A = this chain, B = another copy of it.
Amino acid sequence: MMIVMKETASDSEIEAVVQKIERAGARAHPSRGERVTVIGAIGDVEQDANVASLGLEGQPGVDRVVPILKPYKLASAQFRHGERTVLDIDGRKVGGDHFALIAGPCTVETREQVLASAETVKDAGAAMLRGGAYKPRTSPYAFQGLGEEGLKLLAEAKERTGLPVVTELMDARDLPAVLEVADVIQIGARNMQNFPLLAEVGRAGVPVLLKRGLSATLEELLMAAEYILKEGNPRVMLCERGIRTFESAYRATLDLQAVPVLKELSHLPVVVDPSHAAGRRELVRAMSLAAAAAGADGIIVEVHPNPDEAVCDGPQALASETFADYAVAVHAAAALAGTETDQAKMGARLAGAA
């Protein structure tokens, strides 16, 4: 933290700031320039959070408070000295040199749909199956998901295909039920700053796929991850899924620059969801190739045996019959970015066989 004093700040105003910083447990280093005095407040992230809470912006004589150190610790690249976190989810690896394709329907609708999607996904060499039983919907009149019924269908698909399951949790009270089937718990964009929920999945210790909020900064995403990590759960994947901008030609703007930057700032794997940003399958392939070429550690994408009949978000789902070809292209793009993967090899083999 660096406190920039006003040009007109008096000695006693400077002294008052120094004392507040020291009472908060950090050390203050004033540095008097020709025109302004700048006070460095040195501490660890906890002390920094305390100093930030002091509201020094409002103190007499203070012009501005400028954060210097990152406000997260466990999520930072420094915390693991530059080594990348590799998650191992029932044998499927994500992060480091491992690229993972996660696919499945947006929403669990029927037994046939889930089982068919799961087979498609498995055959194309994807690493995991996604599918939602609890759906956050802007409208209370829209379909809210099958709930526990949906979880059971996911469990059956998992048993049949052996694919680990990624599914969303919206309410801490549903955690026990979700834990029965989920290999990875997804926290949706709207819940990125639902702090009690983050702490809960932190305590549960299960791998978490944490989606970036619609208007969240990368620092806020990393602070949300920190809530999970702080509870002792280091198994977190970050997910870019598009941010809100002024553009109305697509549902959200996929921010692929987040991929190399999150990998610079943090050791956690970075996954991209092109389906929700695009909102239309015509864009999903192009954006998947772009995400993989940008160095993403994984892609989570929607696929449906019959998208025109989907209950929810059908227009953005890839059709099953195009999925194997798609998977090969995505893995080729990942290889271009230097992410070498077992799945890529498997995908290539499958393509050769086809």
Contact = CB atoms under 8 A, between A and B. Distances in A.
Interface string A222-245: 010011001000000000000111
Q: Which of A50, A136, A139, A281 has the most CB of B within 10 A?
A: A139
Number of this chain's copies in the assembly equals: 4
Contact of A140 (B38, B194, B230): B230
Interface in A327-354: 329, 332-333, 336-337
A289 B332 CA distance: 12
A184 to B, nearest CB: 21
B42 A33 contact: yes
A115 to B, nearest CB: 22
A71 B257 contact: no
Interface residues of A, number: 110
A294 B264 CA distance: 23
B53 A312 contact: yes
Interface of A: 2, 4, 7, 27, 29, 31, 33-36, 38, 40, 42, 45-46, 48-50, 52-59, 66, 68-69, 71-72, 78, 136-143, 170-173, 190-191, 193-196, 199, 214-215, 217-220, 223, 226-227, 230, 243-250, 253-261, 264-265, 277-283, 286-287, 289-295, 307-308, 310-316, 329, 332-333, 336-337
